[in-house]
Amino acid sequence: MADQKVIDQAERVLYKTYNRYPVVFDHGKGVTLYDSEGNAYLDFGAGIAVMGLGYGDEAFNQAVKAQVDQFTHISNLFYNAPSADAGEKLLAVSQMDKVFFTNSGTEAIEGALKIAKRYHYNKLHEAMGDGADGCEDWEPDMTGEIIAMNHSFHGRSLGALSVTGNAHYQEPFRPLIPGIKFAEFNNLDSVKALINEKTCAVILETVQGEGGIYPATEEFLKGVRALCDQHGLLMILDEIQCGMGRTGHMFAWQGYGVKPDVMTVAKALGNGMPVGAFLACGPAAAAMVPGDHGTTYGGNPLVTAAAAKVLDLFAERRIVEHVREIGGYLWDTLEKLAAECPLVKDHRGLGLIQGLEFTVPVGPVVQEALLGQKLILISAGANVIRFVPPLVIEKEDVDEMARRLKAAIGAVES
């Protein structure tokens, strides 16, 4: 009853850009979420790959509470210890040279795109024989083209939407930023064909998440790196969903032996505190100068204290090693389930970012899993169920998920 009141109120006041399920969640512990009537749900969505450490982690919560009492915000006109500490730790695990903290994934993408444009603006000016601050021969359309991938997802702000290869998301908001071209993911020739003298960067997810859980092939990722080197382009990897340990590497690209010039992180970085980042190495790390970019909240002490604690706990608890082990168990479990279920057409993924593609839309299965089986799953496109649980799940959770998913599929089939 109380639930219905909340639902009605939310529908009355909140801008309607989501079709929500009729469940009101109240609190969580570990990999379990509880609705306001006390029903327990096994969560294999983790708030869309955010709650890496699970819900209600004591050590994490203590760190956040301590920072709340110290102070939550100070402007970027001054220094604060948590942001420097979080930055140091993030650079150590990413092998990058510089980091800029943002409030979200989409803002991390905006920053990455600005680095690409600024980097090439600088290069062009150097080639024209003058400094970075003005040149008579320069025209704004001399540079700045970016190659992105079909079926990609990089966020909802206008820049990020411009490189999101999904016509449905883009169409109502045109015109978007100019100079974006789309190649086929895992098709190197399609990237090569789009490169010209104006191209400044290639942006892609190391594992496409929203687009249906497609890991890059090693050949493709190495090929993009080689093309970028050959043509002087920046390689931008979006690790917002697949990063932070999810593939069994701290960042997915570390499993490929390919290093980007620029990368983006968010989602699991703050374990629920809103924090993202863009990071750069080599010359890209110095392309932007004071005045080029800024944010009021970005990297404030509250969210960076959270991120620093997340990185500490990842190391202490050997989260990445755990993901490798449990990811293999999830793989074997889903292989078995796929073999038993004729509706399942394909099984893809790495570590704890896996997908089952069905021959039919998965909406009814996802809904039945939630409402009938108290199992939270999310889709990735119409026909794919995505498995992005908290990174701390154990084998029993995988077994229980498989039991409930089979029951949900059975109920939908009958």
Bridge partners of residue 179, in order along the sequence? none
Contact range with ligand PLP by CB under 6 A, out of 57-65, 101-109, 327-335, 396-404: 101-109
Residue 241, interface with ligand PLP (CB under 6 A)?
A: yes
Using rule CB under 6 A, residue 209 touches ligand PLP: yes
Nearest to 157 by CA among 177, 178, 183: 177
Picking from 107, 176, 174, 120, the residue whose alpha carbon sits closest to that of residue 148 is: 176
Question: Does 238 sit near ligand PLP (CB under 6 A)?
Answer: yes
Residue 320 binds to ligand PLP (criterion: CB under 6 A): no
Q: How many CA atoms does the CB half-sphere of 81 hold within 13 Å?
A: 3
Measured distance CA(250)–CA(75) in Å, rounded: 30
Contact flags string 256-295 toward ligand PLP, x per CB under 6 A: ----------xx----------------------------
CB atoms within 10 A of CB 78: 6
Two tokens at 385?
């169920």
Rounded Cα gap, residues 35 and 39, in angstroms:
5
Q: Interface with ligand PLP includes 240 (CB under 6 A)?
A: yes
Closer residue to ligand PLP, CB minimum distance, 30 or 215: 215
CA 402 vs. chain centroid, Å, equals 25
The residue type of 4 is Q
| Angstrom distance (rounded) from CA 220 to CA 252 | 14
**Three-state DSSP class for 156?**
coil
Tell me the residue type at 111: G
The residue number whose beta carbon is nearest to ligand PLP equals 105
Least distance to ligand PLP, CB of residue 267, Å: 6
Q: Which stretch binds ligand PLP (CB under 6 A): 57-65, 104-112, 253-261, 282-290?
A: 104-112
Q: How many residues bind ligand PLP (CB under 6 A)?
A: 15
**105 labeled binding residue:** yes
Quote the tokens at residue 204. Answer: 């892609």
**Which residue lies nearer to ligand PLP by CB, 106 or 333?**
106
Work out whether 206 is an interface residue with ligand PLP (CB under 6 A).
Answer: no
Range in contact with ligand PLP (rule: CB under 6 A) among 100-108, 189-197, 369-377, 381-389:
100-108
Please state, as a whole number, how many other Cβ atoms lie within 10 Å of the Cβ of residue 27.
Answer: 12
Q: Give yes or no for residue 102 binding ligand PLP (CB under 6 A).
A: no
355 labeled binding residue: no
Our finding on whether 155 is near ligand PLP (CB under 6 A) is: yes
82 binds ligand PLP (CB under 6 A): no
Q: Are 280 and 261 in contact (CB under 8 A)?
A: yes
* Minimum CB–partner distance for residue 272 and ligand PLP (Å): 12
Residue 32, SS3? strand
Is 296 labelled as part of a ligand binding site? yes
* DSSP code of residue 165: B
**Site of interaction with ligand PLP (CB under 6 A):** 104-106, 109, 153-155, 205, 209-210, 238, 240-241, 266-267
Mark the binding-site residues for N(2)-acetyl-L-ornithine, compressed into ranges: 156, 295
Mark the binding-site residues for pyridoxal 5'-phosphate, compressed into ranges: 105-106, 153, 238-241, 296
